[in-house]
Structure 1
Amino acid sequence: MRLLLMSDTHVPVRARALPAGLLDEVPRADVVIHAGDWVDTATVELLRSRARRLIGVHGNNDGPELRAMLPEVAFAELGGLRFGVVHETGPARGRESRCAHRFPDLDVLVFGHSHIPWDTTAGSGLRLLNPGSPTDRRRQPYRTYMTARVSEGRLTEVELHRLPHPG
């Protein structure tokens, strides 16, 4: 099972549209996961129309319409692994233990908010993944997203992808 992970798309505030390279990946994925801060409903509808399956949550920049469409936290069993998706996890310091305590029954937690790519494993075995942002790199050198595979109850081939600078 191929996964495509993204967060913090901020369309149309930080970008007019999702990058073409990212959109090309959507139909190749079995599941697309978006960890919040969409900003507009059109991006949700675009991904729903192109993805085989979309799992998403709302973020702190998402207004009432998106909050009505999307949960704050989403859960899914994918290929034998228990996934959770949330936008905010708090400060980087103590993130692993805090998230392991908050989500003791998960194998993988996908989150966003910081725009900083993250891939660590808590002492409990919880894998924490932040794909960064494909549209707003902030202080990061690149705009990013992630792909991964789930096979036989294992998360494999987790890869951070850099998007070219626009223009």
Structure 2
Amino acid sequence: MRLLLTSDTHLPRRAKALPPPLLAEVERADVVIHAGDWVDVATLDLLEERAERLIGVWGNNDGPALRERLPEVAYAELGGLRFGVVHETGPAQGRERRCAERFPDLDVLVFGHSHIPWDTVSPDGRLRLLNPGSPTDRRRQPYCTYLTATASAGRLTDVELHRLPRNR
């Protein structure tokens, strides 16, 4: 099962549209996961239309229209793994321990908010934490980013951080 992970699109504040490489990945993915801060309903509508399956949550910059359509936390079993999706996880220090305690039944937690790509494991090795960064607002990062991965037979493989061109 091919996964596309994205977050913090902030359209149309940070960019006018989703980058073409990200949209191409939507077409190839079995599941698209968006970890919040859509900002506009049009982006949700677009991904719902184009994605085979979409799992998304609202973020701190999402207004009432998005909060009506999306949960604060989403859960799904994908490729034999228990996934959770949430926008905010708090400060980087202690994140792995804190999230393992908050989400004891998950194998993978996808989150956003910081715009900083993140791929770590909880101290007990049970929970993998992934933040795809942002495809539209790099903030202090050198590139805008998103993640792809494969979930199959209870394993997460081929986790790849994709850098988008800076001249967008």
Runs of 4+ in 1 over 2 A off after TM superposition: none
Residues 80-108 of structure 1 deviation map (CA, whole Å, 9 limit, x = unaligned): 10000000000000000000000000000
Q: Which residue of 2 aligns with 1:70?
A: 70
Cα distance in 2 for residues equivalent to 1:12 and 1:92: 27
Q: Which residue of 1 aligns with 2:127?
A: 126
Residues 56-82 of structure 1 deviation map (CA, whole Å, 9 limit, x = unaligned): 000000001101110000000001100
What amino acid is aligned across from residue 151 of structure 2 in structure 1? V
Q: With structure 2 as the length reference, what TM-score do the two structures score?
A: 0.98
Cα distance in 2 for residues equivalent to 1:166 and 1:70: 32
Unaligned 5+ residue runs, structure 2?
Answer: none
Cα distance in 1 for residues equivalent to 2:65 and 2:49: 18
Unaligned 5+ residue runs, structure 1?
Answer: none
How many percent identity over aligned positions? 78
Following TM superposition, by how much is the alpha carbon of 1:130 offset from its aligned partner in structure 2, in angstroms?
0.1
Q: Which residue of 2 aligns with 1:164?
A: 165
Secondary structure at the aligned position of 2:130 is classed as strand
What amino acid is aligned across from residue 137 of structure 1 in structure 2? R
Following TM superposition, by how much is the alpha carbon of 1:166 offset from its aligned partner in structure 2, in angstroms?
3.2
Q: Which residue of 2 aligns with 1:52?
A: 52
Cα distance in 1 for residues equivalent to 2:71 and 2:101: 20
Q: With structure 1 as the length reference, what TM-score do the two structures score?
A: 0.99
Q: Which residue of 2 aligns with 1:141?
A: 142
Q: Which residues in structure 2 correspond to 1:94-109 (within 5 Å)?
A: 94-109=94-109
Equivalences, count: 167
